[in-house]
Amino acid sequence: MQSVAPRPSAPRFGRLDADMADVESAIVRSRDFLLSQQHPEGYWCGELEADSMLEADYIFLHTLLESGDPGRLKRALTEMMRYQNEDGSWSIYPGGPGNISLSVKCYSSAKLMGVSADDPRLAKCRKWVLEHGGVVECNTFTKMYLCALGEYNYDAVPAIPPEIVLFPPWFYFNIYEISSWSRSILVPLAIIYAKKPFKKISAEQGIDELFVGGRAQAKLRLRMDRKSIISWRNFFIILDRLMHWAEAVHIRPLRKLALKRAEQWMLARLEMTDGLGAIYPAMLNAIIALRCLGYSEDDPQVIRARDEFEKLGIEEPASEVMPEPTFRMQPCASPVWDTAQAVYALGEAGVSRTDPRMLKAADWMLSKEVRHKGDWAVKVRNTEPGGWYFEFNNEFYPDTDDTAQVLLALSKVDNPRERYQHQVVQRAIDWEFAMQCRNGGWGSFDKDNTKMIFQYIPFADHNAMLDPPTVDITGRILEMLALYGYSRDDKRVARAIKFILSEQEPDGSWFGRWGVNYIYGTFLVLRGLDAIGVDHLEPEVQQAAEWIRMVQNADGGWGETCGSYDDPNTRGVGPSTPSQTAWALMGLLAAGDDRSDSIAKGVRWLLTRQEPEGGWDESMGEGAMKQSIITGTGFPRVFYLAYHGYRQYFPLMALTSYKRAMERAALGAGG
C-alpha cells in the first residue's frame, strides 16, 4: 500500500515541486520509522540478503560433517529451490543471467537432500549446466567442495598449498598482499586442500551427469592460454602443475610446519570475532579445517565456530506467501554499518544531538572501537589501532569505510563523554590517514593492496584477490575529513582529490566498488568533493551531474542493476529503487543542482512510494518469488548483497538534503 501522492505546490523555477509540507511529513514518518527499528542496546542491524549459494553451501557443510538439524536442512532446501530460474539455472542477483558455479552447487545440494535427478526442476538445471560447459566451468571454490564429496578430483583443482603462510611479509608473494577476505577464506581452504577430506556419497547423490560427455571423458585440468604462450596465466598454470607433481610424489618438506602455522594463524583470528573474518565463506571453511586438523565435534573451538556460523541463520515460519517454513543464511551481520548510517541520517533529519536514543547509539559505536592491531598492521607499522569494523565483533579487520561513516555519525551527537569521544575520533582519523594508499585513495581493509599479478593465480577465479583504492570509499572519507575541519590545503586531501578526478569515466560517472554501481560511486564522489570545497562549477562536477540527469528513468526515479559490472554500457540502467534514487538525488544536490526537473521528479518519486509507516519497499516479484532488489556489492561479478537498511536511511538522507537545499534557495531568493 502506498501513501497518497503529495500535493503539488505552485511551480518554482518553471517546474512542479512537491509541497514542502509533504516533504516534511515524509521526513518525520521516515525518522520515526527508523527510530522504531533501533535495538534496545542502541544499535541498528538490518537483514543482509544474498543468493542461494548460502543455503547450498549450508547443506554441503552439514552433509560433509554428518551434522545439522534435518528439519532446518529441509527448510534450507525449500528456500534454495524457490529461487530457481525458469531456464533451470540460479542467478547471483534477481533478474540476472544464470551462473554456472551457483547452479552446480544448488543442483548438487538438492541431490544431497534426496531430490531425484528425474525431478523436473533438476532436469531443467542439468540441461542448462551442460549447455554452458558443465562442472569443469565452475570456479575453484565450488570444485574444492565437490572434491570433498568425491565429485571432482583434488589433483585437478588449482593447488592451494598451506606453505603460502610461511612466506614472510617482505616476500613479494605473501598472504598480506591479497585482500583480507580472500586471506581469511584461503588459509583454512589451504588446510582443507592439504588434508583432502573425503566423504563417500551414494551414486544417487552424485553429479556425474553434469560433466559434458561424462566425468570419465571430461578434461579436468586447467587449460593453458594458446593465444599468448608467454603470459602470467601460463606461468602460474605451469607452477600449479609442478605443485601437483610435488604433491603426488610427497615432496612436501615444509608441510608439517606450514599446517601448524596455518592452524595458529586461524586460531588467533577466531578470537575477538564472530567467526573467522566474520564472513560466511571463511567461517564455513574454518569449521571444515578444524575438523580436518583433528578437532573433535565437542572441542570448544569447533563448538564456538559452529555457533557463530549458525547465528547467521534466519527461520521464516509458514505464511500466506510461503505455505512452507524456510530457513536462509546471511553472509554476515552489519550492525556497525547500519548504526552509523542510521545515526547520521537521523542527525541530518533533525533528531536532537542530546536525544537519549542517539547517545545510546553513539556509546554502542564507541564500545566497538578497535584497540588491537590486526592484519592491516603488517604493512602499516607504528600506527596506533583505531577505527571500526562492519560486524558485531571483528577485531582483526577494521575497515576505512565503516570508520569514516562512524565518524560522520559521531559528529551528530553531543556526548557527555566529550573528551573521550574526541580521543577516539582523533585516533580513528590518524588511522585513516595512515591507511591512505600511494595514489591518494583508500582501499577498504589494507593499504596498497594492488599487485595485479595475483589475479592470474589459478585459484583467484573468484575475482576478489585484491583490495585496491576506490573512489566511493575515498569520497566518503573526504566528506568525513571536511566535517572535522580538514581542507584542500592539506596535502593528503589534495592527493585524494587528484586520485578521484583521475578515475572519472569519460561520460562523467564514477565506478562504485561497494554499491551498485556507477550511481553509487558518483554520488559518494560528489558528496566528498562538495564537502571538501571543490566548486560546483568545475567541469568534472557538472559532467557528473549531467550524467545522473541523463540516466534518470521516465518514472522519475533511478536504478541500476548488477549487470553494469559485466557490461559498463548498461551503467545507470535498471528499474527505479528507493536507495538508488536517493543516491542520485544526493549526488545532484551535492553538485549544486537544486533547480532541475530531475530533482523535482526524483523527490516526488520517493514521496509517492513511501509506505504509510514511513519506510520504503525495495523488492521485485510476487508471492513466493518476491526478492529484495540488489543495490549492495560484495565482489563485483561474483557476489552481491541486499541491505534491508538501505531502503530506509538513504531516502531519509535524500529528503533531508532536499529540504535544506530548498530552504537555502528560499533564503537566497529572499535576499
Model confidence pLDDT, tens digit, residues 486-495: 999 999 999 9
**pLDDT of 75 over the 90 cut:** yes
Residue type, 500: I
Q: Enumerate the active-site residues.
A: 401
**pLDDT of 293 over the 80 cut:** yes
User: Which residues on adjacent β-strands are paired with residue 78?
Assistant: none
Mean pLDDT over all residues of the chain? 93
**pLDDT of 229 over the 70 cut:** no
What pLDDT digit, counting tens, does each position of 569-589 carry? 999 999 999 999 999 999 999
What pLDDT digit, counting tens, does each position of 166-217 carry? 999 888 889 999 999 999 999 999 999 999 999 999 999 999 999 998 887 6
Query: Residue ranges per domain, the chain?
Result: 52-269
**Measured distance CA(325)–CA(75) in Å, rounded:** 6
Predicted pLDDT of residue 306: 97
Q: Count the alpha carbons within 13 Å of 630 in the hemisphere toward its beta carbon.
A: 27
Predicted pLDDT of residue 221: 64
Predicted pLDDT of residue 390: 98
**pLDDT of 9 over the 50 cut:** no
Predicted TM-score (pTM) of the model is: 0.94
Residue type, 181: W
Q: What does DSSP assign to residue 68?
A: S
Which residues make Cβ contacts (< 8 Å) with residue 447, sequence separation at least 6? Answer: 376, 379, 380, 434, 435, 436, 437
Q: What are the grid coordinates assigned to 314, written together?
A: 534466519
Percent of the chain with pLDDT over 70: 95
**Measured distance CA(469)–CA(656) in Å, rounded:** 30
* Average of per-residue pLDDT across 262-269: 98
Match 602499516 to its residue by C-alpha cell: 380
Residue type, 330: Q
Q: What is the band of 18 on the pLDDT scale with cuts at 50, 70, 90?
A: confident
Match 598449498 to its residue by C-alpha cell: 161
Predicted pLDDT of residue 248: 86
Nearest CA to 389 among 580, 182, 180?
180
Q: Using an 8 Å Cβ cutoff, are 212 and 133 in contact?
A: yes
Nearest CA to 514 among 374, 655, 631?
631
Least confident of 120-124, 247-251, 297-301, 408-412: 247-251
Q: What is the band of 15 on the pLDDT scale with cuts at 50, 70, 90?
A: low
Residue type, 412: K
Which residues make Cβ contacts (< 8 Å) with residue 247, sequence separation at least 6? Answer: 155, 159, 161
Q: What is the band of 2 on the pLDDT scale with cuts at 50, 70, 90?
A: very low
φ/ψ (deg, to 5) at 642: -110, 110
* Average of per-residue pLDDT across 659-670: 83
- CATH architecture assignment, domain 52-269: Alpha/alpha barrel (1.50)
What pLDDT digit, counting tens, does each position of 324-374 carry? 899 999 999 999 999 999 999 999 999 999 999 999 999 999 999 999 999
